[in-house]
Every structure is written in structure tokens, then in C-alpha cells.
Amino acid sequence: MKQRTISGALDLIVWIAMAAIIVGALTFGIFAGYGVYAEQQKAELRRLVEDIDEVEAGFVAAREAEKSFMIELRGSRIEEHRRIVAEVAQTLDRTEEQLTALGLETEHQARIADLREHLTTYQAAFMEMAETHNRLGHTDDDGLKAEMRVAARDLEQRVRAIDDPEMLVRVLMMRRYEKDFLVRGDDSLLGDIDTQAGEFLDILAGLGIDEDTMIAIEDSLMAYQGSFFTIVGERMALPLLVEDMNATVAATEAPLRETVAAVQADVARIEARTMLVQGLLMAISAVAMLCSVVAFVISARRLCRRIGAPMEAVTHALTDLAAGKENITVPESDLGEITEICAAIGTFRDGLAERERLKAESEAQRLEQERLQIAHAEERSAAAERERQMLSERAEQEARAAAEIAEVVAACAAGDFSHRLSIEDKTGVFVKISQGINCIGDAAETGLTDAMQVMRALARGDLTQRMATDHPGIFRQIADAVNDTVGALDRIVGEILEGAAAIDSSSSEVASAAADISQRSERSAATLEETAAALEELSASVKASAGTAGEARTLASDAQERANSSQEIGTRTAEAIQRIAASSDKISKATSIIEDIAFQTNLLALNAGVEAARAGPAGAGFSVVASEVRALAQRSSEAAREINGLIEESVNEVQRGVGLVDANAEALTSVLEGIRAIVSRISQIADTSSEQSVSITELTSAMHSLDRTTQENVAILEETTAASSSLFDEARRLNAAVAHFTRLQAAGARAIAAE
């Protein structure tokens, strides 16, 4: 009976202990699972904060790309701006998805929508501004500037055709006011252009020319004025577009700051809530464990009291053990059950002490881990706040620097180069940009002032003035050009003669090289035929295959060396053609300078004729001289245009020659590759004589194919030779044309001297 009672009591105690362990395991599992979930949510929050920072940085990068485009006017900057805006839009989409996953889409949906709308509006305004610049044209040879230039030339040619100096002066004055407006942007010049156009039409109406010619000249004037005032409208619209774009960016800053602040507040709130839930779970786990221990103690005490008097000592021991005493004395007895119970009590006492020790260590570890997590969270929050403040300060500094740079660039675009940027309050790349813009302003102001002084002296007829040559960059080139223009006409003609002689010599070298290549290709074709015959003999004599293969290898190597020589000759031919092209470019530049000089001379002659006409009979002789100078300038301009036409034809022929030489190089490359294949195959024949018959058959077929290719190459080389001869003839004609131009200039000079 006692045995059964003690056994039942122990079984009950075991079940209670198991229940306590299960409850502890469940609470620990819940705590650990929520800890993993909390870490995942914190990672999502960190990614959300990073995406918000990327959106803010993306807006700053888009503004930098916008300023770079306004300074450089390059198409690559438009693509860079489009890419940055697309990345910002993708980041906004990703941010909205993360907010939805975190259950915050309702609170931030309106702000994200505002940011996306402002981003779209800003991109559209930027693209409209870029399209306006593209329509205007980045140089005088594209866009509306090119159209206006063509219309102005057409009007000038029609006025020259009727040979009226007054009308030509009005056209030239309109061109002058047009260029001044494009440089300075002065609106008062528009009235001057209208005044000149009105005087032009009054003079045209009083000439008494035929109606068709008058209508054609009026249409040309309308086309020129239409192109010019279209450019004026586009240029006036640019500041409004920039103002709209800046207003859009300013309107974006407020919702962006609100979104950043709201997201950071939500992140802090979610992190605090996560920490609170973790603390609650930890408290619940502790309470559950405590309740399990209390239930175990109460059950044990109640069961011990039911055992009876023989178990009193054991009861006292268990009572002391339940009360938390670890240094209890285990009763001793000679009874088996009591002894077993006492032994169990001793074991349980030791296990309870060990569990209490482990529990204390676990609690200490848990407290330490909680403290570390709180410290890490505070450090991350502080680091994020510092980084946000740094980015905000940096954005404000960059915005101020960009505004100052835009103001100075706008002043430079308006023709005022006196403004400078301070570099003390700037950092990073803006220091270099400010220094560069200041250097540009200094160089432009000094160089333009010197050039203006020289031009005013030239306008007065004073050719003794020179522009200082200590300017850097393009102003040094302008100084050289202005100084060389005064006395460079005879030197330019000498350069034209030297260029023509260079073309003659180079074309002769091209013809000689082409003939040499043709002869070498014919010899290569003959060598290949001999090699094919040798291979056929090898197929009939299998036993002597090794020696014959060696001979074929030697022949193929010779052919390869000759092909290499042909390739080197082709390279020299290409270099000679490139020298011809360079000489043509040099002549083209020289004729352009001559044409500009002729234009300036024509303008001076027109002004002189007008002044002579106003002087009356006293200026009749000067009027005759001015007419002759004007005629000479027109003939110089026509001759320069003829030379330009001949040079363009020569350049086209040179380009065709380059194409033929390239084709020849490709053909020679094919020959080299084929010869290398031959050498490889012949080596295989020498090494593997057992398969010689099959290999020789294949090699013979390849040699026949190579022979056909070589014959085709010979035909191509003959065509190259013919093209080189044609180029030589073109060079001769160009030389003759230049010599004729020199004689014409000399005759014109003698005529002026006679006058």
C-alpha cells in the first residue's frame, strides 16, 4: 500500500515537472519566434529609410545633371537626367511597396503621390527646356540658327545680284545687330533691326526693279526675319521654363522633407512597439515559469502529507526543498522504498540547485542581450539622424552653390563677364566648378576687351595695332588669327601652293604604291599556282609525302612573307592618303580665311562707296577705287568657293581611295589567313603520313579556292591602281587650279596698282 502510494506521488510530481518544462519551452519558443520577426521588421525599416534617403539624394543628383546640361549643352546630360529621374521613380515605387508591407500605405500615400507628381512635372519641364535648346541649335550649323544663317545668305546673294550698295549695307547692319542680340540679349537691338529692315524696304521700293525680283527679295527678308524672331521667342521663353522648373523643385522640397520626417517617426514608433512587445513576452515567460514552479511545490507538499507518519522526515526534507533550501539533510533509512525516496530526494535536490543556477545564468544572459539590443538600436537611430542632418546641410549648400553658379552663368550668357564666384563657402566639386567659371570670366573679359580694341582700330583703318598674345586657350588663337589677318594674304596663297604640291607628291606615291601592290599580288598568285601543282604531285607519290610537304611549307612561308610585305605597302598607301586628306583640310581652312577677308573687304568697299557717293564729285575717284576693290573681293570669294568645291571633290576621291585601300587590306588579311592554314595543314601532312592521301586531297581543294581568291585580289588591286591614277589626275587638276588662282591674284594686284 505504502509502495503504491509513494510511487503514485512520484508519478504525479513527474507529470507536474513535465508540464512546467513544456510551458517554459512554449513561452521560450514564442519569445524566440517574435524576436526573429522583430529583426526582420527592423531590416525592412532600415531598407525603407535607405530608400527614402535615395529619393532625396536622387533629387539632388537630378538638379546637378540639370545644371551640368545648362552649362555644357550636351545630349549625354539629357540621358543622364532621364536615367536619374527613372531611378528616383523606381525608388518611390519600391518605397510605396515597403510601406504597404508594413501597413503604413494609408498614412503616406498622399505624400508619395505628391512626390511622384512633382517628379513627373519636373522631368517634363526639364525636357521642354532641353528641347528648346535643341530647337535653337547648339552651334551655328544646326537648329534654328542654321535656318537663319541660310536665310541670311540667300538675302545677301539676292541683294548682291541687283548690285545696290545701300541695300547691302542695310543687310550687313541687320546681321551685325542680330549677332549683338544673340551675344548680349539686349532687347533694344530688336528695334534697330526693324529700323534697318524698314529702310531696306524703302530703298527696295525706290529702285524700280521688276516685280518678281522685288517679291523674291521681300520673301527672303521675311524668311530671315521670321527665323530671327523665332529664335528671339525661344530665347525669351527659356527663363520662364527655368523659373517653372525651379518652382517645381521648390514645391517638391516640402513634401519630401515631410515624407522623410514622417517615415522616420514611423520607424521609431514601430521599433519602440517591437521593444515593448518583446518585454511583454519576456515578462509572460517569467510569470509562466514561476506559476509552474509554484504549482509543482504545492502539489508536492500536498502529496507528501498524504504519505503518513513514516514519511515525516522525508516530508520535512521535501518541505525544506520546496521552500528553496539547498543544504538540506537527506533522511537515512534501511527501508528500500524510503531509501529510494531519500535517494530520489537527494538527486532532485541536486537537480533543482543545478536548474536554479542555469536559470540565473539564463536570466543574466537575457538581460545582457536586451541591454545590447537597446544600445545598438540607440546607436543606429543616432547614426541615422546624423546622416540625415549631414545630407540636409549638404543639399542646402549645394542648392546655394548651384544658384550662385546659375546667376554667374546667366550673366556670362548675357555678355557680362564681370561677375565672380566666391569659393570660401563651397566644398567638393563646387569649388572646382567655381574656380573654373571664375577663370572663364577672367579670360573672356580680358580677351574680348583686347579683341574689341583691335577691331575698332581695324575699323578706323589702323593696321598697326596688334592683339596681345599672352591670352590662354581660344583667346590666344583669336589673337593669333587677328594678328595674322592684317598681312597674311600672300602667306595664305603660299600655303595653298605648298598644299597643292603636297597633294601632287602624295598622289604620285599612292599610284606608285598601288602599282607595286598589283605586281606583288600577281607574283603571289603565281606562287600559289606552283604550290597547287606541287600538292597534286604529292597526291600521286604517297611515299615521298614528307619531303614534298617540307617543300610546300617553304613555299607557303615565302608567300606569307610576300603577303606581309604587301600588307605593309597597303599601310603606307593608307598613310599617304591620310596625308593628302590633311593637306586638303589645311587648304580648306586657308580658303575659309580668304573668304572671310574678302567679305570684310567687300564691306569696307561698300562703306567707302557710300561715303564717296555722299561726298559728291570730290569722291568720284575714290568711288572708282572702292568699286575695283569690291570687284576684286567678289572675285576672291568666288575663287575661294571654287577651290572649296575642288577640295571637296578631292576629299571624296581620297575617301574612296581609303575605302579601296581598306578593302585591299582585308583581302591581304584573308590571304595571310589562308597561307597560315596552308602551313598548318602541310605540317599535319608531314607529321601524320598515314593520313596523307586524304589530307593532301583536302589541301589541294583549299589551294584551288585560295588561288581563286588571289586572282580576285589581283583584279581588286588593278581597280586600286586605276583609282590611284585617277587620284593622281585629280591632284594635277587641283595643282593647276591653285596655280591659276595665284596668277589671278597677281593680275588683280597689278590692276589695282595701275589704278
* pLDDT given at position 710: 64
Tell me the CATH number at 625: 1.10.287.950
Is the Cα dihedral 721, 726, 727, 733 positive or negative? positive
Cα-only R_g, the chain = 48
Shared domain check, 366 and 447: no
Q: Is residue 204 a contact partner of residue 217, using CB atoms and an 8 Å limit? A: yes
- In-domain check, residue 233: no
Q: Is residue 217 part of a domain?
A: no
Residues 476 and 508 in one domain: no
Phi first, then psi: give them for residue 119, nearest 5 degrees.
Answer: -65, -45
Q: Please provide the size of the chain in residues.
A: 755
Q: Please state, in angstroms and rounded to a whole number, the distance separating the CA atoms of residues 31 and 20.
A: 17
Cell numbers standing for residue 231? 529664335
Find out whether 282 and 366 touch, Cβ atoms under 8 Å: yes
How many folded domains does the chain comprise? 3
3-state helix vs strand vs coil in the chain, percent to 5:
90, 0, 10
- Same structural domain for residues 266 and 387? yes
Residues 479, 492 within the same domain: no
Q: Is 110 domain-assigned?
A: yes
Pick from 450, 484, 518: which residue ends a domain?
Answer: 484
Contact partners, residue 427, CB within 8 Å, separation at least 6: 397
Boundary of a domain, candidates 484, 499, 522: 484
pLDDT, residue 74, reads: 74
Kindly state whether residues 540 and 574 are assigned to the same domain: yes
Residue 455: domain span: 429-484
State how far the alpha carbon of 500 is from the alpha carbons of 86, 505, 591, 640, 652, in Å. 55, 9, 13, 14, 16
In a shared domain, residues 473 and 492 = no
- Cβ neighbours for 351, distance < 8 A, ≥ 6 positions apart: none
- Residue 693 falls within a domain, yes or no? yes
* Residues 323 and 450 both lie in one domain: no
Give buried/exposed letters for 443-473 (b at 16+ CB in 10 A, else e): bbebbeebbeebeeebeeeeeebebeeebee
- What span, in angstroms and rounded, lies between the C-alpha atoms of 467 and 485? 11
Contact status, residue 569 vs residue 517, Cβ threshold 8 Å: yes
Among the three residues 367, 387, 402, which one is the final residue of a domain in this structure? 402
Cα atoms found within 13 Å of the Cα of residue 217, Cβ hemisphere only: 25
Is 664 within a domain?
yes
Question: Mean pLDDT of successive 10-residue segments in the chain (755 residues)?
Answer: 46 60 68 66 71 78 80 77 85 77 66 78 80 74 78 84 81 81 75 83 82 85 84 78 78 72 71 71 69 63 51 61 63 54 63 70 77 73 71 65 64 64 64 64 67 65 66 69 59 52 60 61 62 63 59 65 66 65 61 61 60 58 61 66 67 65 65 65 60 62 63 64 64 60 42 40
Burial (CB < 10 A; 0-12, 13-18, 19+), residue 207, is middle
- Rounded to the nearest angstrom, the gap between the alpha carbon of residue 130 and the centroid of all alpha carbons in its chain is 16
Grid cell at residue 72: 555644357
Q: Check if the beta carbon of residue 339 is closer than 8 Å to that of residue 333.
A: yes
Q: Is residue 79 assigned to a domain?
A: yes
Joined grid coordinates for residue 718? 588593278
468 HSE (CA, 13 A, CB side): 11
Residue type, 328: I
Does 605 share its domain with 693? Answer: yes
In contact, 541 and 730? CB cutoff 8 Å? no
3-state secondary structure of 92: helix
Q: Which residue has the cell 537648329?
A: 143
Whole-Å CA distances, 81 to 59, 76, 85, 451 = 10, 9, 6, 38
Does residue 237 fall inside a structural domain? no
**Grid cell listed for 565:** 610585305
- Clarify whether residues 68 and 93 are in a common domain: yes
Q: At what angle do helices 211-305 and 312-322 cross, to 10 degrees?
A: 160
For residue 135, give the amino acid letter: R
pLDDT in tens, 228-274: 888 888 777 777 877 877 877 777 777 777 777 776 776 677 677 77
The per-residue pLDDT for 2 is: 42
Judge whether 146 lies within some domain.
no
Indicate whether 469 and 612 sit together in one domain.
no
One domain for residues 315 and 384: yes
User: Are 383 and 441 in a shared domain?
Assistant: no
